[in-house]
């Protein structure tokens, strides 16, 4: 089973890239973030024409999440208990016996700001809910754009980013709290090229110079990770014309998950 995550930074702009990637890679599950598309305007038919089921939760201009799946998703939810949030950042569904939770974590704007406090509170509430999901679903995958670089090796310049947004101690502690409920960072289960990132700023030739951060993640329970064959970042789409500033992350799982 191939499971992937990709912040597309506007699905309507990046739809040709997504369709080409689906045709080439043929993932079983693709989680999309920052679709920036109202539900009434979601480009459903092109994705369905490739044989995929699609569920989505969007809003105008900002945010938005979607799941593109080979098997029909079931028990879909877009809002969780204890978190009243009009922003469309959460989409969970059961696909082929696995619970898939797609997250677009708030950016936080600036350390110490109201948006930063909102981010930390959002993460705490979502983690509490996920702990229950973990107990209910031995096969749980939590993936998406977390807007957190978990460690210095996930940042092109750790000194410049020390205690800055995406790399601050409270944000990294929030990421560790997610792992603490019984989730594993799938990319770190495998050897990776040095300076492996998932996001590069459009400015300063960030991608060409590899001035990136690893902020997109696929977390899974041990029951699934025992059958994980690989996990990698596909930088190909980031090098296309008019790309998203993020690259897809792809994990491949065998059939022997316990």
The answer to whether 56 and 65 have CB atoms below 8 angstroms apart is: yes
End-to-end CA gap in the chain: 14
Catalytic residue, from 28, 52, 104, 245: name it: 104
Q: Give me the residue spans of the domains in the chain.
A: 2-253
Answer whether residue 256 shows pLDDT above 80: no
User: Alpha-carbon distance 97 to 100, whole Å?
Assistant: 9
pLDDT in tens, 145-178: 999 999 999 999 999 999 999 999 999 999 999 9
Answer whether residue 134 shows pLDDT above 70: yes
Predicted confidence at residue 110, as pLDDT, reads 97
Give yes or no: 104 in active site: yes
The answer to whether 189 and 226 have CB atoms below 8 angstroms apart is: no
Answer whether residue 258 shows pLDDT above 80: no
Q: Taking all residues of the chain, what is their mean pLDDT, rounded to a whole number?
A: 97
Predicted confidence at residue 257, as pLDDT, reads 58
Please state the rounded mean pLDDT for residues 186-193: 97
Residue 226's Cα: distance from chain center in Å? 21
Percentage of residues of the chain with pLDDT beyond 90: 98
The answer to whether 130 and 142 have CB atoms below 8 angstroms apart is: yes
Query: What DSSP state is assigned to residue 240?
Result: S
> Torsions phi, psi of 42, nearest 5?
-65, 135
pLDDT in tens, 105-132: 999 999 999 999 999 999 999 999 999 9
Give yes or no: 79 in active site: no
Predicted confidence at residue 79, as pLDDT, reads 97
- Superfamily of chain region 2-253: Endonuclease/exonuclease/phosphatase (3.60.10.10)
Listed in sequence order, the residues at least 6 apart from 58 whose beta carbon sits closer than 8 Å to its beta carbon are 35, 36, 37, 38, 39, 41, 42, 64, 65, 66, 88
pTM for this predicted structure: 0.98
Predicted confidence at residue 255, as pLDDT, reads 83
Answer whether residue 98 shows pLDDT above 90: yes
Catalytic residue, from 28, 52, 116, 145: name it: 145
Q: Is 87 helix (H, G, I), strand (E, B) or coil?
A: coil
């Amino acid at each position: 089973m191939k499971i992937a995550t990709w912040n597309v930074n506007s699905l309507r702009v990046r739809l040709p890239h997504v369709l080409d990637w689906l045709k080439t890679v043929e993932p079983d599950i693709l989680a999309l973030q920052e679709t920036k598309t109202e539900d009434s305007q979601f480009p459903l038919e092109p994705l369905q024409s490739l044989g995929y089921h699609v569920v989505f939760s969007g809003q105008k201009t900002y945010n938005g999440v979607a799941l593109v799946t080979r098997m029909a998703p079931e028990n879909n939810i877009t809002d969780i208990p204890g978190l009243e949030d009009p922003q469309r950042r959460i989409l969970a569904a059961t696909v082929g016996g696995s619970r898939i939770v797609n997250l677009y974590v708030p950016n936080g704007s600036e350390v110490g700001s109201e948006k930063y406090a909102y981010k930390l509170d959002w993460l705490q509430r979502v983690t509490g809910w996920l702990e229950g999901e973990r107990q209910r679903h031995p096969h749980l995958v939590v993936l998406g754009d977390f807007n957190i670089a978990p460690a210095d090796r996930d940042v092109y310049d750790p000194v410049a980013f020390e205690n800055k947004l995406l790399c601050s101690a409270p944000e990294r502690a929030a990421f560790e709290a997610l792992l603490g409920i019984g989730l594993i960072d799938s990319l770190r289960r495998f050897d990776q090229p040095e300076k492996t990132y998932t996001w590069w700023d459009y400015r300063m030739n960030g991608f060409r110079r590899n001035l990136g951060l690893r902020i997109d993640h696929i977390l899974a329970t041990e029951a699934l990770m025992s059958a994980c064959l690989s996990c990698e970042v596909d930088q190909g789409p980031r090098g296309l014309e008019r790309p998203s500033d993020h690259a897809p992350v792809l994990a491949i799982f065998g059939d022997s998950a316990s």
